[in-house]
Amino acid sequence: MDSIFQSYDASVIRPIKEIKFDILGGDEKRRMSVMTGTHGIDIAELFDKQEPKRGGLIDSRMGGTGGGLCATCGLNSKYCDGHFAHIDLAEPIFHPLYLQFVKNFLECICLNCAKLLIQKETDKLKTILRMKSNKNKFVKVHELCMKAKTCFHCGTYVSKIKIDRKKQTNGVNIYSETITTNVDEKGSNKVSLNLTPSLIADIFDNISDEDSLIMGVDPKRSHISDMILKVFPVPPTAIRPSLRGFFSAGASKEDSLTIKMAEIVKTNTRFNKHKEMHNEHSLKYSVVHSMLLQIHVMQYYDNSAPITQKNDGKSSQLKPLCDRLVGKFGRIRGHLMGKRGDFTGRTVITGDPCIGINEIGLPKQFAMNLTYREIVRKDNYDRLKQLVKNGTDIYPGANYVYKTSESIETGKIVKPIYLKFRKEDVVLRYGDTVERHLQNGDFVLVNRQPTLHKQSMMAHMVQIIDNTELMTLRLNLNVTSPYNADCDG
Q: Do 378 and 274 reside in the same domain of the chain?
A: no
Residue 3: per-residue pLDDT:
46
Query: pTM of the prediction?
Result: 0.70
9-23 pLDDT, tens digit each: 666 778 888 888 889
Whether the predicted pLDDT of 383 surpasses 80: yes
* 250 against 431, higher pLDDT: 431
CA distance readout (Å), 472 to 274, 364, 451, 479: 66, 10, 20, 16
- For residue range 81-139, what is the model confidence (pLDDT) as tens digits? 899 999 999 999 999 999 999 999 999 999 999 999 988 878 888 888 888 888 899 99
* pLDDT tier at 474, thresholds 50, 70, 90: very high
Residue ending a domain, among 297, 331, 365, is 331
Average predicted confidence (pLDDT) for the chain: 85
- Does a structural domain hold residue 3? no
Question: Would 337 be classed as within a structural domain?
Answer: no
- Same domain membership, residue 381 and residue 361: yes
Domain-embedded: residue 373? yes
> Looking at the structure, do residues 266 and 318 belong to the same domain, yes or no?
yes
Residues 118 and 211 in one domain: yes
Give the model's pLDDT for residue 459. 95
223 and 247 inside one domain: no
Q: What is the CATH number of the domain that holds 475?
A: 2.40.40.20
In 305-464, which residue ranges form alpha helices assigned H by DSSP? 321-325, 364-367, 381-390, 404-410
pLDDT of residue 5: 46
Same domain assignment for residues 212 and 126: yes
Q: What is the mean pLDDT of the segment spanning 382-396?
A: 91
Q: Is residue 4 part of a domain?
A: no
* Same domain, yes or no: 392 and 375: yes
Domain range for 37 is 24-91+233-331
Percent of the chain with pLDDT over 90: 39
Predicted confidence (pLDDT) at residue 247 exceeds the cutoff of 50 = no
Is 85 a member of any domain? yes
User: In the listed set 273, 305, 331, which residue is the last one of a domain according to the structure?
Assistant: 331
Domain boundary among 331, 363, 397: 331
Same domain, 398 and 462: yes
pLDDT for the residue 185? 66
Residue 389 and residue 434 in one domain: yes
Residue 169 located in a structural domain: yes
Domain count, the chain: 3
Q: What is the separation of C-alpha 20 from the centre of its chain, rounded to a whole number of angstroms?
A: 18
Tens of pLDDT along 399-456? Answer: 999 988 777 667 667 788 888 887 667 889 898 999 999 999 999 999 988 889 999 9
Strands 359-363, 457-465: pairing is parallel
Asked if residue 179 has pLDDT above 90, the reply is no
The answer on 167 and 118 residing in a single domain is: yes
Q: Which of 12, 299, 268 is nearest to 168 (CA)?
A: 299
Label residue 387 by pLDDT band (50, 70, 90): very high
Residue 240 has pLDDT above 50, yes or no: yes
Q: What is the mean pLDDT of residues 188-213?
A: 90
- Range 97-105 contact pairs with CB under 8 angstroms and sequence separation of 24 or more: 97/301, 97/302, 97/322, 98/227, 98/228, 99/163, 99/165, 99/172, 99/174, 100/163, 101/227, 102/174, 102/200, 102/227, 102/228, 103/161, 103/163, 103/174, 104/138, 104/142, 105/204, 105/215, 105/224, 105/227
pLDDT at position 1 is 45
136: in domain: yes
- The pLDDT, as a whole number, for residue 423 is 61
pLDDT > 60? residue 7: no
Instruction: Please tell me whether residues 87 and 98 are part of one structural domain.
Output: no
Q: What is the mean pLDDT of residues 480-485?
A: 89
Whether 326 is in a domain gets the answer yes
Residues 355 and 474 in one domain: yes
